[in-house]
Structure 1
Amino acid sequence: MLASAANKILSLSSKKRLSILIFIDIVIIIFSSKLGLYLTSRDYFNDSYFSIFITLITIFIGITCYIISGQYIGITRYLSSRDLNHLIIRNFIITVLTRITLIFFQVELPSLGYFILLWILLSTSSVYIRFFMRDFILKIKISKNKNRKKVIIYGAGEAGAQLASSLIQDGRYCVEGFIDDDSSLWRRNIKGIPIYPPNRIYENKAHIDQVLLAIPSLRKKKRLEILHTLYKKGVSVLQIPSIDEIKSEKNLITSLKPVKVEDILGREPINPDNNLLNIAVKGQTVCITGAGGSIGSELSKQIYNLNPYKMILIDHSESHLYNINKQITSYPDNGIEVKAILGSTTDLPFINKVFTDNNVDIIFHAAAYKHVPLVESNPLKGLFNNVFSTEIVCKAALEAGANNLVLISTDKAVRPTNVMGASKRLSELVVQAIAEKSKENSIAKKTCFSMVRFGNVLGSSGSVLPLFQEQIDNGGPITLTHPRIIRYFMTISEASQLVIQSKVLAEGGDVFHLDMGKPVSIKSLAEQLILLNGLSIKDNKNLEGDIEIKFTGLRPGEKLYEELIIDAESKKTIHPLIYRADERFIPLDIIMPTLEILRRYLDNEDKINSLLILKELVPEWQTNLI
């Protein structure tokens, strides 16, 4: 019955609700005035004329003050301590104005104690009533929501307390408790919500829908320990991001994010050397080929923020080029000229004209076909695009007198087992040969050539993660080629920063790679991704699980593990996590005639002879195609 009455009140128009609030405040003023007189000035209380007069004066002043000062503008259900402080100040002003008015009308004043008590009674009564109304409205709102999520907040600090307030206010969540590792907090409470030790989660797992990780300053290693423990117990987790992001959120609920895969990779993020980044491209004209791809687009975004003079974005895909150009041009204008140019890096006259007309200083060559199965089934197109685009871009860089060219390579180029990897290794050999010739060149201006080789990039178009996520979204199963397959991983941001920093470290012909920590089991990654989606793994131990992992066998050209160097030892650079490998190469006067033969075979669609040439130039390539 109360709930029905409350719902009717909440559905009233704003004017009618304002009338109710004014009526409640009039009742509070009458109560406070009468009780104050009774307790401090009994004679005045017994004088009905004076009692009515002083009460009417207080009502007039009080309601007028409330209206003028914006007392009724605020929304009761979002009442805060700041609103209550303002209310107490208003009541003090009302009390003072009431005394001044009585003096003006030359009325014999009650004792000073009356006015002090009037202020106290007004404040306590109005504060209590408003708290009561806020909590009552909230309870009604909660009672209407039958599907509230039961959550536990991991972290009884400031962020956890703020999150609890937001969740309580929202009404869609029921906060069952806090979890914290600090034993001094156990058996205490925040806002009436108890704080428990971590084992409480596992004891009540069946009664909890989600755990909300609310320790934004937590170290990666500790966060990883907590996440692994929770996932092993089959608990779904959301987390608050960084402290800065929390401050920017008006509602902490909107800052809750699913745990990202990079949070469970088992290593700390690789921080860039800002000294290297800041001088890498500043004031120079930078060209990014394949600018619309996953690596190219991230490179473009980061380079824009490093204050180059001009940016040239090249891509053969109209839609990809449109998207990256749209993103870059939506950034705050800082005077950087950005040109989006549609074209192919296998077109020598086109690339020559772009580099020469724009006086390009630095080229990041990210254009390539990189999807292993697709290139394996289309070897001639993959080989032509990856190898000859690299040759053309290198020649054009020399012709235009560019300062630097950086080739984006891959760990699949090391002892390759597929055409994509072999084509990228041959691309490296082309760069190395031209780099050596450039060093020998006697002209004053030389182009410094280098390569960056890294493992799988999380979130890139060639990553397994988008595929796994799509399979999960479709209800499974996740298809995996082998249970023991492992890969190195880095985030797309880390990969792009490595590329940019390597430009500063380059001496000519360098192959750079990153200390990427331990390789990651793809099976484990798939399992973690299932759990990240709040689902369970279906296997022999859990036949009722949500998503099954099926093994399909290694694909042609696929390896169980990848490597980052071929036959050289890693050498340290001034960046503690970037290493240089000076690897063997084929001299330019040998490799170029062979490339001409390869081009003729490719032009004639001669698959066997093309692959034989590839095998001759990259003898470590393991293949069943020839």
Structure 2
Amino acid sequence: MLRAFLNLSRFQKRAISVVSDALFLSFAFWAAFALRLEDKNWMPSPDQLLVGGLTIAVSIIFFVRLGLYRAIIRYLSDKAFVTISIGVGSSAVTLIALAYLLQVFVPRSVPIIYAALAFLFVSGTRMGVRMLVGRTSQRNKEPVAIIGSGETAIHLAEALRQGSEFQPAMFVTYRRANHRTLIQGIPVYDIDHIEKAIRKHRVRRLLLALESDTGLDRKQLLHELEPLAVPVQTVPSMAELVSGRARINDIRDLEIEDLLGRDPVSPDSAVVASSLFEKSVLVTGAGGSIGSELCRQILRHRPARLVLFEQSEFSLYAIERELQSINSIEGLAVEIHAVLGSVMQRRRCAAVMKAFGIHTVYHAAAYKHVPLVEHNVIEGVQNNTFGTWHVAEAAIETGVERFVLISTDKAVRPTNIMGASKRLAELVLQGLAERQTGTRFTMVRFGNVLGSSGSVVPLFRDQIRDGGPVTVTHPDIIRYFMTIPEASQLVLQAGSMGQGGEVFVLDMGEPVKIVDLARKMIHLMGLSEKTEERPDGDIEVRFTGLRPGEKLYEELLIGDDPQGTSHPRIMMAREASMPWDDVESLLKKLSLASQNFDCGRIAQLIREAPTGYAPNGDVADLVWCHSNELVQPADSGSGFRRLGA
């Protein structure tokens, strides 16, 4: 019957509401007299019947004018009860006025009793229907617990109640005084009682809705939630809600920052802004993970123009479209120019910098995937080392003020070509910084970037959703981690601090064990690990072995005596460098080896340079290893010899 009522047209529902109100107002009119006169058999006189009928008719007109019948009962708000109060009050005044004008006997207390009964009947019927409809719609909803009891949590509960997927079953709080209280009829439990409460309310999902300024240790919170074997998700931040980029009920998987478990680095906005405002800035690799985030953050510092330099047509199109949208919506009035080109083309780079009067270059273009670069040695060295050299020389030629290289922790005592090529790029810039003083060269070195292309977090998430296994290369492998926005903020901060030739590194806290990160993600997605001791688990963690060039541990410093800077979380490394003449000689030798497609010679030259390169295997270049010209390893030299050599 209820379903049939809900399927009626809006006109039919309004007609039923009008008839219902008329009947209940009639009953309220009779009951007011019967209660006042203490006569349950009281019947109205013709005059009283006339007054009652006119009062009810006028009341219905008031209700219509007040918009009471336009309100959808299942979404009835507090404002509707104010409207009902006004309508009922008007109805009581109408009764008094009609009784006076028509000289009909109406005791003075009757309008008061009538108003009270009318409000109970009119509002009560609507509340009853709303509760009945709500109870029916909640039956198929998934019960969830909301972690938090502040404004964000309350707004989330309201949004979920209106939706069709989740039903807020309980709040969880860190305030012991709020234990077993009620918020909007929903029970509140202290975090110490969460396990028992989850079983009681059959909660199948936990939603984090914490205030940004609570000072709560999120790492400790996740540590407490991890053993519950219930999926943990989060809601958008207040900044996203205010900007309109998300809604409060946009449920999403845990943010990377939560999994990271440490406080992000905050930049000195004033220093960064002064180095970018009204300047002309170029970002190489603008369509990549780091490059695109750099562009977003640079844009909001309002440079005069932002030049996006990228060799991938689609990536360039995507980031330009996004930035133009931000530029328009936020009224930043920044010139945005999308330029196709390769960092290997020095003349192209110089022409672009000269045409747009570039003040600052952020060089993010690089091949950074360790196994891929290990299998493509020459392309990796050409792009990462020679590409940096060409862009840097173009910057010097066109009078660029600042040049910032995005480096990597893998450049420290590298065991792979990717890290070695980035260390060579640092040596190139250090040499150029000594050769001239017109352009300030700065290098920023940081760990793995969570959420970037090739990052383990989205990979693990996809593997868990696919039912596993989650693949980890080694049980003891550890890495330093930071988020893309955090890495970009550090680059901007260091770029504004650099005086020439410095290598900046971030105090990244404790490194993260990759297998622990994988297990945490499994548990926080409400699943269990499948092991020999627990064969009925959900997801297996499988170790696949170290990949070519991969290390168990990454470092950020070559030396052990870092120097502090004006930023408490940024250090300046004391690294060995080479005079420019030696760097130039090395580059010529590497260029010749590349032209001869001699990967062994390239590896030898990198080992001889002060890079700390110590490969943990033979040259793994796919073409080199599968070439018909290769034979067994030689006794000396490059490590391989060619036919006829």
Once the 2 structures are TM-superposed, how far is the Cα of residue 424 of structure 1 from its aligned partner? Answer: 0.2
Match of 1:194 among 171, 187, 208: 187
Do 1:312 and 1:341's aligned partners in 2 also have CA atoms closer than 8 Å? Answer: yes
Which segment is superposed worse, 531-540 or 589-598?
Answer: 531-540
**Distance (whole Å) between structure 1 residues aligned to residue 440 and residue 14 of structure 2:** 74
Report how many aligned residue pairs link the two structures: 612
SS in 2 for 1:112: coil
1:305 aligns with 2:297: no
Unpaired stretches in structure 2, ≥5 consecutive residues: 620-638, 640-645
Residue 111 of structure 2 corresponds to 115
1:126 aligns with 2:122: yes
Return the letter of the residue paired with 1:466: P
Return the letter of the residue paired with 2:253: P
Deviations 1:200-252 (A, max 9, x none): 43236554312233332465652221211211232222234434556788997
Change (3 A) 1:263 1:35: same
Residue 258 of structure 2 corresponds to 263
Deviations 1:52-107 (A, max 9, x none): 1111111111111111221111110111222111211121123223433444x443
Residue 59 of structure 1 corresponds to 56
1:254 aligns with 2:234: no
Return the letter of the residue paired with 2:142: K
1:601 aligns with 2:599: no
1:476 aligns with 2:472: no
Match of 2:86 among 70, 84, 89: 89
Once the 2 structures are TM-superposed, how far is the Cα of residue 174 of structure 1 from its aligned partner? Answer: 4.6
Once the 2 structures are TM-superposed, how far is the Cα of residue 45 of structure 1 from its aligned partner? Answer: 5.9
Do 1:457 and 1:495's aligned partners in 2 also have CA atoms closer than 8 Å? Answer: yes
Deviations 1:282-308 (A, max 9, x none): 111100000000000000111111000
1:529 aligns with 2:506: no
Return the letter of the residue paired with 1:420: M
Match of 1:513 among 498, 501, 505: 505
**Distance (whole Å) between structure 2 residues aligned to residue 436 and residue 556 of structure 1:** 35
**Distance (whole Å) between structure 1 residues aligned to residue 458 and residue 49 of structure 2:** 75
Residue 558 of structure 1 corresponds to 550
Return the letter of the residue paired with 1:152: A
Deviations 1:394-453 (A, max 9, x none): 1111110010000110000000000000000000000000011113xxxxxx11111000
Match of 1:223 among 202, 218, 225: 218
Deviations 1:570-595 (A, max 9, x none): 11111111111232210111210221
Match of 1:37 among 23, 33, 36: 33
**Distance (whole Å) between structure 2 residues aligned to residue 188 and residue 255 of structure 1:** 27
**Distance (whole Å) between structure 2 residues aligned to residue 554 and residue 571 of structure 1:** 33
1:459 aligns with 2:451: yes
- Residue correspondence of structure 1 range 109-188 to structure 2 within 5 A: 110-143=106-139, 145=140, 148-170=141-163, 172-188=165-181
Residue 623 of structure 2 corresponds to none
- Residue correspondence of structure 1 range 393-404 to structure 2 within 5 A: 393-404=391-402
Do 2:232 and 2:524's aligned partners in 1 also have CA atoms closer than 8 Å? Answer: yes
Match of 2:403 among 402, 405, 430: 405
Return the letter of the residue paired with 1:291: A
Match of 1:382 among 377, 380, 389: 380
SS in 1 for 2:454: coil
Which segment is superposed worse, 81-90 or 612-621?
Answer: 612-621
Once the 2 structures are TM-superposed, how far is the Cα of residue 564 of structure 1 from its aligned partner? Answer: 0.8
Do 2:99 and 2:106's aligned partners in 1 also have CA atoms closer than 8 Å? Answer: no
TM-score normalised by length of structure 1: 0.92
SS in 2 for 1:195: strand
Of all paired residues, the percent bearing the same amino acid is: 39
SS in 2 for 1:212: strand
**Distance (whole Å) between structure 2 residues aligned to residue 547 and residue 477 of structure 1:** 6
Match of 1:237 among 209, 232, 250: 232
TM-score normalised by length of structure 2: 0.90
Residue 491 of structure 1 corresponds to 483
Do 1:456 and 1:490's aligned partners in 2 also have CA atoms closer than 8 Å? Answer: yes
Once the 2 structures are TM-superposed, how far is the Cα of residue 526 of structure 1 from its aligned partner? Answer: 1.1
Change (3 A) 1:363 1:166: closer
**Distance (whole Å) between structure 2 residues aligned to residue 247 and residue 325 of structure 1:** 24
SS in 1 for 2:109: helix
SS in 1 for 2:603: helix
Match of 1:292 among 281, 284, 287: 287
1:17 aligns with 2:30: no
**Distance (whole Å) between structure 2 residues aligned to residue 461 and residue 169 of structure 1:** 37
Do 1:167 and 1:253's aligned partners in 2 also have CA atoms closer than 8 Å? Answer: no
Return the letter of the residue paired with 1:100: A
**Distance (whole Å) between structure 1 residues aligned to residue 88 and residue 487 of structure 2:** 61
Return the letter of the residue paired with 2:123: V
Residue 575 of structure 1 corresponds to 567
Change (3 A) 1:509 1:551: same
Do 1:220 and 1:268's aligned partners in 2 also have CA atoms closer than 8 Å? Answer: no
Return the letter of the residue paired with 2:135: K
Do 1:245 and 1:255's aligned partners in 2 also have CA atoms closer than 8 Å? Answer: no
